[in-house]
Amino acid sequence: MFNNYITNRFSFQAYLGKIFARMLEVQIRYIQVVLTTAIFVGLLMDNIQLLTAVFVGLLLVWQLEMLSGQLRVDSKEYRLILIFISVTFLPVLFNILSESNIQTLLYIVLLLVPLLGIFVMDLNIFKLGNLLFSTIISMTVIHFILTQYFQDNIMYLTYLFLLLFFIKTIATLFNVQFSNFQYFFNFFAAVVVFVGVSSFYDYSISHILLAGTFTALFTVLINFLILKLRFESEFINELSTQVYLYDYLVAFLLSLFFVDAVNIVNGLF
């Protein structure tokens, strides 16, 4: 009888965790819509600062959703969410105080997370790894957004981002993310958008094809890894179409950093 009580108690707590996670997910969707709309405003106003702030905001919101799937927002674990969000914001603080260095930031995270694992005994190694993975992704992309060569090419990269956003949005309406050829679609969507937008600039076609192909390959791979992480979320029952959309866009931005696509299209190998 006592075992049944314990089982029911933990089941009820897990149920509450899912309810709060769902409530937070709905609020996140509204924030993402507002931030995505702000990208159009930034383009119309030709405001680099606004575009930079919006991209950073989208990454922080994406990170918040990833954390809320692993940690309960209705318990003391919300403190961990605040800590990880604060850690993810470090590239912005480093950029304000001094030149941002991604190696230094990653060292800080690799030192901080094991300490959290020691002091928070309920945090198992698998959940800790998932939190670390999503935090490193967010920090790396935010660092990339704040770099000078992203700032110098922000309009070009914003066009890539928005066009992929439209194509992926239309695809999710037809449930392409659940089909067998979703990986082929994700690859060719990134290639077509990259080649199409870059063709309007004074870039060599060979450089465009090279950068576009490798960016698309890394986008598919990183998107797959993020989705695998999503399916391990404890407090999310099912993934909405917006999750597939923004996961893909985050994977695309991270791929631009890994491939160094901006320098490749400019012929700087």
Nearest to 60 by CA among 23, 104, 92: 92
The residue among 87 and 154 whose pLDDT is bigger is: 154
Residue-wise pLDDT for 221-251, tens only, equals 999 998 888 877 665 655 566 777 889 999 9
Residue 265 has a pLDDT of 85
pLDDT in tens, 171-197: 888 888 777 788 899 999 999 999 999
CA distance 140 to 134: 10
Among 245, 243, 234, smallest CA distance to 26 is for: 243
* Nearest Cα residue to 197 out of 163, 151, 168, 220: 163
